[in-house]
Amino acid sequence: QAIAILDSGVGGLTVAKEVMRQLPREKVIYFGDTARTPYGPRSSEEVKQFTEQIVDFLIQFDPKVIVIACNTATAAALDHISQKVDIPVIGVIHPGARAAITATKTGNIGVIGTIGTINSGAYTAALKQLSPYINVMSQACPALVPLVEQGDFRSEHTRSTVSESLNGMKDKPIDTLILGCTHYPFLMEPIGQVMGPHVKLISSADETARETSTILYDKGKLAIGDETPVHQFFCSGDPVMFQSIARSWLGE
Ligand code: DGL
């Protein structure tokens, strides 16, 4: 049985990579909805419908857990999907919030994400649930996902787009910035350059992989043995760019 991971495109690979690193015996089945990316500007109803379709596809493989490695889909569909299937479903928003609370010293946390994620208020709710004294500043950055889907992580154009997108955030008195979209860790370097060394950048990947591992352990479902798993990748659009990004990111 595998760990099923889904995203609107290549973003969830940032989570998949961490799952593979922390759980090297586990097989991963990944689905990226590259034909319909980005999810960010879509209505939450539509994102919920798309997520449901992908889950219907993945469930055929009889996975032991499903990881919704997309913040937009987590905000729109996590509760619905959790009720619909009878295996554990993990989202990326609560893990991201937990990681940020652990990292912050001042309690002033920034969140960047897609329009859907930011408008849902899901991060603010998750952070306030963990600690009512947290101050949250959020900003949607809709221009970033298309850059990542094009495999453009470091060009001048990317650097200036990242800088413009962070205009509303870079002078805020935060010490921690949640990369509230799983695509953004691909842009860690240019984002770090704009925000400066005093701001810690938090991705959900680490903590999501840890939650996955805890759940599998509790259910007695961690893979045993020393066979190297063969992962499977699917995408709904042209596989050429997807494959090239996946290969270089996962180092295969
Ligand atoms: N990677 C996704 C997220 O974490 C979705 C990006 C998009 O398709 O807009 O929100």
What are 89-143's pLDDT values in tens digits? Answer: 999 999 999 999 999 999 999 999 999 999 999 999 999 999 999 999 999 999 9
Ligand 1 pocket member 208 (CB < 6 A) = no
Q: What is the mean pLDDT of the chain?
A: 97
Q: Which atom of ligand 1 is nearest to the CA of 12?
A: 1
pLDDT, residue 184, reads 98
pLDDT higher than threshold 70 for residue 245: yes
Mean pLDDT of 58-82: 98
Mean pLDDT of 156-166: 98
Confidence band (pLDDT; 50, 70, 90) for 163? very high
Helices 156-165, 188-195: inter-axial angle, 10-degree rounding:
50
pLDDT, residue 141, reads 98
Cβ 28 vs Cβ 20: under 8 Å: yes
Active site residues: 70, 181
And the tokens for 91? 């989202």
Ligand 1 pocket member 123 (CB < 6 A) = no
- ipTM of this predicted complex? 0.97
pLDDT higher than threshold 80 for residue 78: yes
What are 174-214's pLDDT values in tens digits? Answer: 999 999 999 999 999 999 999 999 999 999 999 999 999 99
pLDDT, residue 251, reads 93
Ligand 1 pocket test target in 34, 36, 71 with most atoms within 8 Å of CB:
71
As annotated, the binding site includes 7-8, 39-40, 71-72, 182-183
Q: Which atom of ligand 1 is nearest to the CA of 180?
A: 4
pLDDT higher than threshold 90 for residue 226: no
**224 vs 135, residue with greater confidence:** 135
Which parts of the chain are beta strand (E)? 3-7, 28-32, 65-68, 89-90, 108-113, 135-140, 176-179, 200-203, 232-235
CA atoms of 163 and 186, how far apart (whole Å) = 15
pLDDT, residue 252, reads 66
Cβ 179 vs Cβ 185: under 8 Å: yes
What are 29-64's pLDDT values in tens digits? Answer: 999 999 999 999 999 999 999 999 999 999 999 999
Assign 13 to helix, strand or coil.
helix
Helices 71-84, 122-130: inter-axial angle, 10-degree rounding:
80
Q: What is the rounded (10 degree) CA torsion for 31, 123, 142, 36?
A: 20
As annotated, the binding site for substrate includes 7-8, 39-40, 71-72, 182-183
